[in-house]
Structure 1
Amino acid sequence: MLRTVNRVALGLVGLVLVVVGGAVLAVGLGVAPPSWWIHDGPHDVLLSTAERTRWRDETWWWPSVLAVLTVLVLLALWWLVSILRRRRLGEVLVDTGDGAGALLRGRALESVLAADASRLDGVSHAHAHLTGRRDAPEAHVRLLLEPHVDPGDTLDHLTTESLTHARESAALKALPAEVRMRTAKHRAERVS
């Protein structure tokens, strides 16, 4: 959902910038603007001298303008970085031993790792996703544990079984993992 909102918002901002920029360029090249347009012709300015000097004597005006512009630039940069940052690894490079290598879909390895972890004793649900580079992936595993399970034993089994199996299957030198565990909460039931 967040990806869709980002794409729609980015598309709208881009469309507005293209339309306004194209209209200003057209007026600058001599196309007659409509009567409601902010510019009258190619030699018109965006802000007149009176509009530019109107708030000059106010001490709060320029710091406020600079603060608002700084916040807008920082928000735009944060948005750009959040869109460009890859949250999930698309593919993993598997060393086949012949020097060529093969590509394994990241989601396939994630689903196998999650399925393997969910088969551990006392794990009611497991979720895994991969980040990092395709030749050095990192696993992020979330486990939902049953109330009677010892987290230390579960972590040991996850490390020695599921993560080791995934690392060896993909022929990786290392598969660092971040594991987050939660205990499932059961509602009390009335016994009659």
Structure 2
Amino acid sequence: MLGVVNRILLAAAGLVLLAAGAAVLTASWPLGGRHAPLLTQEARRRYWHAEGWWGWVVLAGLVLGVLLALWWLLSQLRRSRLRAVVVDTGDGAFAVLRGPALEEAVAAEAGALDGVARCRVALRGRRGAPALRVALELEPHAVPADALAALAGPVLTHARASAGLAGLPTEARLKVTSHRAQRVT
């Protein structure tokens, strides 16, 4: 979602700059010449003082712009990884499992699978409903279906059981390591 917001803000900023540039070009150059001001001091004073509401509108627009800019900045700085998972201990209490510990355990177990060259794991979601994003880099001889079945079977079952979760939604991305073609002689 953040990528969509960034694209929309970039497009809106581009359109505003394009419109401002077109307005300046069409308003000042053809009418008064290249060195003439866009509005004279007296015309500017007469126009804006005749309207009593314009100051409040400009102030509200600036405040809204500042608030939106702060929201966007804070959303850029927010961490996308989950720092901890709440685990139900069964006796009415809860324990906290560190997110990086769960990521490292899943990465180590998935990295030990046959045909997996490298594994990266990111824990996302909320504390009560975590989700995993797993990136497996497969060796050239690996069968993707077998690697995915091994990940979905024992690795994720062990992760769910150790974290005390009923479900652990997982997104797996598979990539084959680059290798040179073998020559046949």
Category of TM-score, reference length = shorter chain: 0.5 to 0.7
- Alignment pair present for 1:92 and 2:85: yes
- The 1-side partners of 2:85 and 2:128 are apart by 6
Post-superposition shift, 1:190?
Answer: 8.3
Q: Please say which of residues 102-111 and 74-83 is displaced more in the overlay.
A: 74-83
Counterpart code for 1:174: G
Q: Does 1:81 align with 2:80?
A: no
1:117 to 105, 110, 121: 110
List per-residue Cα deviations over 1:26-70 (Å, max 9, x = no partner): xxxxxxxxxxxxxxxxxxxxxxx949928x7xxxxxxxx9xxx79
| 2:127 aligned partner | 134
How far does residue 106 in structure 1 lie from its aligned partner after superposition? 0.5
Task: Determine the structure 1 residue equivalent to 2:44.
Answer: 53
Question: Which residue in the other structure is 1:5 paired with?
Answer: none
CA distance in 2, matches of 1:116, 1:72: 47
Identify, as 1 or 2, the structure richer in helix: 2
1:116 Cα deviation (Å)?
Answer: 0.5
Q: Look up the equivalent residue of 2:119 and give its one-letter code.
A: A
Three-state SS of the structure 1 residue aligned to 2:100 is: helix
2:160 corresponds to 1:167: yes
Structure 1 regions of 5+ residues with no counterpart?
Answer: 1-48, 57-64
Aligned partners of 1:51, 1:126: CA distance in 2, in Å? 69
**What do the CA deviations read for 1:106-131 (whole angstroms, capped 9, x no partner)?**
00000000000001100000010111
CA distance in structure 2 between the aligned counterparts of 1:144 and 1:113, rounded to whole angstroms? 14
Residues 51 and 126 (structure 1), Cα distance of their counterparts in 2 relative to 1, 3 Å cut:
farther
What CA distance in whole angstroms lies between the structure 2 residues aligned with 1:185 and 1:51? 70
Distance 1:151 1:71, change over 3 A: farther
Query: Which stretches of structure 1, 4 residues or more, deviate above 3 A after TM superposition?
Result: 49-52, 69-77, 187-191
Deviation at 1:150, TM superposition (A): 1.4
Q: Name the Cα RMSD after superposition.
A: 3.3
- Report the TM-score, using the length of structure 2 for normalisation: 0.62
- Deviation for aligned residue 1:184: 0.3
Equivalent positions of 1:1-192 (< 5 A) are 50=41, 53=44, 76-83=70-77, 85-187=78-180
Counterpart of 2:91 in structure 1: which amino acid? Answer: D
CA separation of 1:51/1:95 partners in 2, compared to 1, >3 Å: closer, same or farther?
farther
TM-score scaled to structure 1, two decimals?
A: 0.59
Listed one character per residue, the Cα deviations across residues 92-115 of structure 1 (whole Å, up to 9, x for unaligned) are 111111110211110000000000
Percentage identity across aligned positions?
A: 52
Aligned residues: 134
SS in 2 for 1:94: strand
Find the aligned partners of 1:178 and 1:76 in 2 and give their Cα distance.
31
**Partner amino acid for 1:103?**
V
